Chains A and B, each alone.
Chain A
Amino acid sequence: MHNVPRTPPVWRRYLRFWRSDPVADVDAELEFHLDSRIEELLQQGLSEPDARRAALREFGDYASVRREVQMLEQSFERRRAITERLWDLARDTRYALRSLSRSPGLTLVIVLTLSLGIGLNSTMFSLVNAYLFRPVNVPGAERLVAMGNTSPLMQQPHEVPYRDLQAYRELRNVFENLTGTVSYTESFDKGDRTERIWVEHTLGNYFTTLRPPMALGRVYTDESSARSEHVVVVSYDFWSRRLGGDSSVIGRPLRISGRPRTVIGVTARGFHGFAPLLRSDGWSPMDESPAARAQLMADADGDWFNTYGILRQGVSIAQARAAVRERARQLQQQYPSTNKGVEPVIVPETRARPVITVASPVPLMAVVVLSLTLMVLVVACANVASLLLARGTTKHREHAVRAALGASRWRLTRQAMLETAILSLAGALGAAALARWSTTALAHIRLATDAPLYFDLTPDWRVFAFTLVTALATTVLAGLAPALRNASADPQTALVAGGRSATDRAQQRLRAIIVVGQIAVSAIVVIAAGLFARSMQAAQKMDLGFRTDKLLMAQFDLSLSGYDTTRARAFERELLIRVRALPGVERAALASRVPLGYNNNAQRILTESLQRDNPGGELVFENSVSPQYFATAGPSILRGREFAESDDATSPHVAVVNEVMARELWPNEDPIGKVIRLPSEKEELRVVGIARNATYMMLSESPRKFFWTARAQHRNMSPFLEVVTSGSPEALVPAVRRVARDLDPNVPLFEVRSMTDHLRNGRAMFAIRLGAMFGGSFALLALTLAMVGLYGLVSYSVSHRTREIGIRIAVGATVSDVIGLVVRQGLTLALVGVGLGVVAAFAVTRLMASLLYAVDSRDPLTFVFGPLVLAIVSVAASLLPAWKAAVMDPVRALRLD
C-alpha cells in the first residue's frame, strides 16, 4: 500500500509568517499534483478509489520523491538563511560605517575613550599574564612545580636545604625529577677588566630535569657534578653580548671568579632561568663529588635552593603535596635539631613567581589590580553609553522613520549594537597600540638594584584573547542600553513631536542613572587608590629602627678579585680610613648586610637555655659589622657597647643582640657577658651590648631575634660600605668611587645608592609602590572620565532648559541663582553616586587588607578625603555649564525654538 499523504498540522501553516516551511511546501506541491490528476481521471469516469490508485501509479514512488525533495529544500533553505544573514550583516556593517563616518568627531572621542579603557586592561593583564599564566618555555611546563619550606624562623616559604631536597628527590613515584639552583654573583674576567655576572649553581640534574631549549652545545648532567667538572652553560644573551656570538666558543675555558670553567653549551634565546625577574648569565653544576656531597648533606643550614620539579604524568599537585608532607614528617623525626617545625610547600611554578618566597600575595594583587582597571573600563563605557544615547536623540527621527517603514525593533537594536561593536573593535585596536607602548614603559619600572632585572611583557594569545573578550564585553556594556532605548522609539510620538518631550525625559533619566553609576564606581577606585597611597606614606614614615637619611651605601666583593682574608682585612681597614677622611663624610662603617636588602644570613646558635629545648640550636638572623657600625647606620645601643677596633681576630669574640633576643634568651637576667655558641665555629661569642629592635627583612615583620658579630672575627668578603654624609649622599658617590679605585682598580663598587633610594625603590616597598602608582593612575583616569560624563550630562540638561532658565533670568534670577541651580543638579547626582560608591568601597576594600601596610582597609581619613575630592571636582565639572547658563541673553533664549 502506498503511503498516502496526510494534511500537515495546522500550526505548520503559521510558521510561514516568519519563515518559509520547506516540509509543508513540498507536501502541498505534491498533493496538488495528485489531486489534479485524480480529478482528471474522475472526469474520465473512473471511480474515486481507482482514480487515486492510477494517479499514484503514474506518480511513481511517492514517499521517496517526497523525501528527496524535502531534503533538497531543507539544505537549500539552510544555505539560503546563512547567506541572507551574511548579507544582512554586510549591509548593516556598511550602514553602520557610513553612519559613524557622518559624525567623525564623536566617533573619534568614543574610540579614544574605549582605547584608553581597554588598553589599560590589556596592559595590566599582560603584567598578570607574565606573573600568573604564561608557562615557562620548557617541555611539560604544565607539570612544573616549585617547592619551598616554611619554618619557625620564617613563615613565608623559603628555599630548601640540600639534604631535604635530596630526600624529596627520592619520591620517584611523584616527581619525574626534582632539581635545585642558587643564584650567585660572580666575576667574569675579560682580561682587561672584570665584570659582575649572575651564575646559577645548580644540582647536576638541572638541565636533564627541566630540559630548557638549547641553542648550542651540550648540557651537564649528574655525572658532571659528581666528577666536579668545571663547566658552564651560558645564556644566549651572555653569549651574544659578551662572547661575540662566536659558536667556536664551545670547549673554550672562561675565567669566572678567578677559576677556569669550560663553556659547554648555550641556552636558546629567551631562556634566562626560572625567576622571571632575574636574568641569569650562566649555569654551573655544583660540586657533588662524594666528599662535597657529604658536607652538603651534613650542613642543613648551608646553601638553600630554589627548587623546581616536574610531576609525573597523572600525579596531581594534591598527591604530590601529601607525599612531600609525609617525607617531611620523616625528616622531622630523623633530624629534630634542624627540621623541627619545617613544613614543605609545593605549588605550580606559575604560583611561585617571581620566587616562591614572595609569591603568595601575587594572585590577590592581580585580582585587585584587574578589578580596578575593569572599574575604569566600566566608567569609560558609561561615557560611551552616554554619548551614544545623546547621539540617539539626534537620530531619533531616523529610527522612527525606519521603524514606521517596518524595520523590526530587533533589527534596529542589532543595527545599533553593530555600531558599538565596530567602535569597540576599533577601540581594541587602539588598545593594542596603547598596550604595546605601555608594557614597554612598565618593563622599565626601576627597582633599586644592580641585578639584571628583566621583565618580559610581550603579549601572547592570552593577552589577545583577553583584549578581544574585553572589547566584546564593552560592546554589551556600552551599547545595550542606548540600543534598546533608541529602538524602542515609538514612531508616532517621535515623528509628531519632532524628537523631544517624553522620550527625551526618559533618556535624560537614563543618562542620569549612568552618571550616578560611574561616579559611584570611580569613588571605589579613588578610595582604593587612596588606601594604597596612605600605605605608601605610612611605610615611608615608619621608624625602621636604623638610620635612613643622609646615608650612602655601596657594595664590593673582594672574593671576586681573588683576595684572601688577610688582604681583605687590610683593604677594608684602609678603605674606611680614607673614606672617613673625605670632606662631607661624618662617619663610615662596614656591614655584611643592609636592612631590607636582597639577601640575609641566618646562623644557628646555642645558649644554655636553648640547649635544653633544642639541642640543635636555633637559626637566628645575623649581620657581621665593623666598629662604629651602630653609630653610623645601625640601631642605637641601649646597654653595653658596640664593636671597637680592639675586637679583632685575636681578641675574644663578641656579639651585640637586639631587645627581643635579650628578652627571650635571658629573661630576668642581664644578657651582658652571657655566652652564645655557634655550632659552625669553635669560638664562643660573649654578649657586649644590646641594640634597639629594628626592621630587617620586610616591613610587615613583627619584632624578631637578631644579633651582630664583629667583622674582624668572621669571614665575609662581600660587605656594604655605609657612609653618613653631611650633605646629599648622592653628591659623595664620585669621591667614594675614586677612593675605592685608588685602592684597587680591580674592585668595582656596585649597588651604590642612598639608603632612601634603597628603601623607597627597593624590594621592601616595591609592591606598595606599584600599588600606589597603579592605583593613582587608575583613580585619576576614572575620576577624569566620570567628570567628563557629569559635565556632558549637566551641559546637555542646561541646553534643554534654556527656555526655563531664560524665563528665570528675565524675571530677575541673578547669576549666582542660576549657577546655584545648575551646580545643585550636578552636585546632587555626584553626591548620590559618591554615597553609593562609599558604601560599596566599604564592603570591598576589606579584600585588599592584606596588601596594605600600616593602614586599616577602612581608614577613616581615606574614606573622608576621597569622597571630598570627588564632590569638589563634581562642583568644578558643573561650574562651566552653569556659568554659560547664567550669562546667556534671556531674550535670545526665549526666542529659541
Chain B
Amino acid sequence: MLDVLQGTLEFLILRTLAWGPQHGFGIAKWIKTVTDGRLQIEDGALYPALHRMAQKKLVAAEWDVTERGRRARYYELTALGREALGAQTTAWNDYVGAVQQIITASSRKPGRTRA
C-alpha cells in the first residue's frame, strides 16, 4: 500500500468533489471505495487538507443537513478549484505517463554517454 503525499491528497479531494458537494466523511469513504483501500490515508489527515483548501478558496465550505437530519459541513468545488483540478489532472497524467515509461523501459540499461 502506498503512503499518500500532501499534494496527492489535495488532488484526490478535488477529484472526489468533482462529483458534487460532499462532507469530510463522505470524501474519505469515496476515496476508500474507489481505491479499494489501497491508498492508506488516515481519515483525520483529510481535515487539515480540507481547511487549507477552503482558505485557498479551492473549495467552499457550508453547513448543511444530511438526509438523516444531522448537521454536517459540506465542501464544494469553487471555480478556482475546478481550474486547479484540470491543471492537476494534466500534471498527474504526465507524471503517471512518465513513470509508466520508466517502468516499461526498465529492461533496458541506461546507455553510457560517449566521450
Contact = CB atoms under 8 A, between A and B. Distances in A.
A276 B72 CA distance: 75
Nearest to B47: A69
Contact of A59 (B42, B48, B51, B63): B42
Nearest to A65: B44
Interface string A39-78: 0000000000000000000111110010011001100100
Contact of B44 (A28, A36, A61, A72): A61
Given A37-B25, A59-B43, A60-B44, A29 B72 contact: yes
A59 B51 CA distance: 16
B21 interface: no
B51 to A, nearest CB: 5
Interface size range of chain A in the complex: 20 to 34
A30 interface: yes
A29 to B, nearest CB: 5
B72 A32 contact: yes
B55 interface: yes
A69 B72 CA distance: 16
Interface in A1-58: 25, 28-30, 32-33, 35-37, 58
A73 B51 contact: yes
Nearest to A72: B51
Contacts of B24: 29, 32-33
A48 to B, nearest CB: 18
A29 B73 contact: yes
A69 B25 contact: no
Nearest to A70: B51
A35 B66 CA distance: 13
B103 to A, nearest CB: 31
A33 B25 contact: yes
B51 A60 contact: no
A58 B51 CA distance: 20
B58 to A, nearest CB: 14
A6 to B, nearest CB: 17
Contacts of B25: 32-33, 36-37
B45 interface: yes
Contacts of A58: 42-43
Nearest to B23: A32
Interface in B44-80: 44-45, 47-48, 51-52, 55, 63, 70-73
Contact of A33 (B28, B48, B55): B28
Interface residues of B, number: 18
A62 B55 contact: no
Contacts of B44: 30, 59-62, 65
Nearest to A16: B63
A37 B52 CA distance: 23
B54 to A, nearest CB: 8
A29 B50 CA distance: 12
Contacts of B71: 28, 32
A61 B45 CA distance: 9
Contacts of A30: 44, 47
A264 to B, nearest CB: 70
B38 to A, nearest CB: 15
B78 to A, nearest CB: 16
Interface string B13-40: 0000000000111001000000000000
B102 to A, nearest CB: 32
A591 B82 CA distance: 101
B70 A29 contact: no
A28 B25 CA distance: 12
Contacts of A61: 42, 44
A35 B43 CA distance: 13
Given A33-B25, A69-B48, A76-B55, A60 B43 contact: yes
A33 B43 contact: yes
Interface string A222-245: 000000000000000000000000
Contacts of A76: 51, 55
B48 to A, nearest CB: 5
A683 to B, nearest CB: 100
Interface in A97-122: none
Contacts of A29: 23-24, 47, 72-73
A72 B72 CA distance: 19
B42 A72 contact: no
Contacts of A25: 63, 73
A72 to B, nearest CB: 5
Q: Name, among A32, A33, A68, A72, the residue most crowded by chain B CB atoms within 10 Å (CB to CB).
A: A33
Contact of A37 (B23, B43, B45, B51): B43
Interface in B69-105: 70-73
Contact of A60 (B23, B45, B55, B73): B45
Contacts of B73: 25, 28-29, 32
Contacts of A68: 47-48
Given A30-B47, A72-B55, A60 B42 contact: yes
A390 B63 CA distance: 47
Given A58-B42, A60-B44, 18 more contacts: A25-B73, A28-B73, A30-B47, A32-B70, A33-B23, A33-B28, A33-B47, A35-B70, A37-B25, A37-B43, A58-B43, A59-B44, A60-B45, A61-B44, A65-B47, A69-B47, A69-B48, A76-B51
Interface of B: 23-25, 28, 42-45, 47-48, 51-52, 55, 63, 70-73
What are the 8 A-B residue pairs with the smallest beta carbon separation, nearest first?
A60-B42, A60-B44, A65-B44, A36-B25, A59-B43, A33-B25, A59-B44, A29-B73
7 contacts: A32-B25, A59-B43, A60-B42, A62-B44, A65-B47, A65-B48, A76-B55
Interface of A: 25, 28-30, 32-33, 35-37, 58-62, 65, 68-69, 72-73, 76
